[in-house]
Chain A
Amino acid sequence: MLAFLENPRLRGGIHAEEHKQETCGQTIASDFPLPKKLYIPVQQHVGKPAEPVVKVGDKVLKGQLLAYSQGTISAPVHAPTSGKIIDVQDFPAPHPSALPVRTVIIETDGLEQWAPGNLPDDPFAMAPDQICTRVGEAGVVGLGGAVFPSAVKLSLGRKNQIHTLLINAGECEPYLTCDDRLMRERAGEIVSGIRLMLRGMEAPKAMVGIEDNKPEAYQVMLAACREFDNISVEQVPTRYPMGWDRQMLRYLTGQEIPADGRATDIGVVVHNVATAHAVYKAICLGQPLISRVVTVSGGAVGKPRNVEVPIGTLMSEVLAFCDLDKSKLARLIMGGPMMGDALPFAEVPVVKACNGILALSRDEIEEPEVQACIRCSSCVTACPVGLLPLEMASRIKANQLDSAVDLGLKDCISCGTCSYVCPSNIPLVHYFKFASGELVKRQQAEHKAEQTKRLMNDRNERMERIRLEAEAEAQRAAEARAARMAAQAAAQQQKVEESA
């Protein structure tokens, strides 16, 4: 409460148990054995799914294009290693529902043969639009979890006259340390990525925001940025959800993004720190996004650590590498414990969005009894957006979605802070996720109703036209018959007259 008063630039939030010390002290494991099979979903990003260009039986090289992006908001996927395509079929997606998604399955050959690529002589002399194109071709998407195609964001930034690139290195979710380790071990590469992004967006300066529970990463980044005047590194308080772009931006610049606007409206573009690293790899090394650093942690994991794994590796294999104790496993989560998705089983592939695999033990999770709301308003104090979670949830419970929307349901970021603080254990954020889904469903239903009306009208018009045409046809036929009859009658008359 006091911290809140001291710091008017921060609104709401919580300080949960960090659980970062289990993994933050060890270097990123790069000795992960190459799996026998890799499962690469064609949809690992926001937007349209990519369209496969390979056939079953094809040999592919590492980094070769597997599926190309369709439309402006989409991203391609590439082969994480060399091998043979053994199938292109439906496979469970890393999603709470584990519903199937189209997936390219590769049998690896262990040769790790790279596809030939062309590297630029001087990446920092490349034209901005060339940088954007290359980033897009490399399938780079936002690695903070939102997986929005980065090239689209870079080009948008160029169009909107951006003055600041904000690099989000908050990593405010408990347990996760993949960005922390990446900064400690590959700061130079990250800074190159940031410089390329600045060039791609034609933006003058960049700012890196790091939570103050990562002092080592801060020092390393500070040293790496020292020679570049246009990149500053800032510490931000450790307070979930600091990694929410609006919260970090409000803290660092004092500016507020309009409720229905985007960061670009105030001249800022926010990218994740791991995305900057992926941009470096895509341009300076010519490597598409085919692997990522994943934090494997939780009470059921024997050797919690960060591992660099190829995209498409089954989570069960990554967990086995880190000595998962299956008897202790109570819940499996992709991402962080606050906003991550609980998965029904581990036989799903690691995708670009996967920054953490948490195998939590029974004492780390609780499934307490839900009790009635006591209107303590803890959730109101904690909400970083400034909403009234208790009121919204009670409206949604009564299926009054419209009044929940009036209370600001659409501004909810599903950060889970309200559910975390609720003393009655009400699944507040679940209500909001449910309601948001219902709103989308409703929108789709309205769209369908409109389409139905259009289809009905078209059909009715067509039927009317056919009827009129048939009538006209009948009339013509009748006239023709009448004319024929008259002609016959006249001929007969003539015959009679002739015979007479």
Chain B
Amino acid sequence: MPEFEHDQVRSRNEAFAELIPSRIWRETPSASNPYLATAAQCHGYDLMDLMQHCRFVEVFYLLFRGELPSEPQAQLLEQLMIALINPGPRHPATRAAMNAGIGKTEAAHILPIGLGVLGGAARQVEEAMRFMRRALKTPIDEQLQKLSAAVSADSPEDWLTASAFESTPGFGRHYGDCDLLTQKLATQLSQLPAAGEVLAWGESFARALQPLSAGWLPAGLAAAVFCDLGFQPRVGASLFQLLSAPGLAAQGVEMSNKPITAMPFVKDEDYVIER
């Protein structure tokens, strides 16, 4: 091995902040113990006032956007929250939470486990938000032309692998087909007063994808609503996880008082090692 002279190790002495900055939350210290808060404000509004006068969905919007939503905006977000409240017991994230539950995993870990697995779809939300904001400016035909690889798949494995279309994040196939339930949810949401140009574009694009047996994916639908409500793409993954968290927790905890035999365990004869 040749001897190599590396750089001398030394601190960069970068100027780090003295305090943690935040534009979201302000706490009023107690006069007797400055570590205790006696009041809290969210973007300038007193927490007690918010509790008395606002709905949860409004304060949720306020946290991320800095302003309270109009009634139509709150309605759109609240309906999306209901639409995505449970990925359902067949979703891998829910099944991960259920596996934690049935295995008697520490109860506090059930939700993080489900949310971690949901990260696979959640990370698509940010990409989908960026994609749709760009795509609004280009004709749908141009987007379709990029999908030729997905169309030409000729084996079931290729067809499934191409389910999440790389060039159109948020759109694709679910179990090899158009996701019918997500399409229904999108149609309902797109008829609400606060639905904007991104949801409308997504609806048009999803229709154009039908000949490919593809359409909206949940991440795309969430992304479109988040765009129309003015959320930034970088919060997309977290918002998607938050909206799906209730179902993951409920389904996971549902398993936590059942015997380990209450869920399937694949038989040895049904376990195949393919080399």
Are A and B bound to each other? no
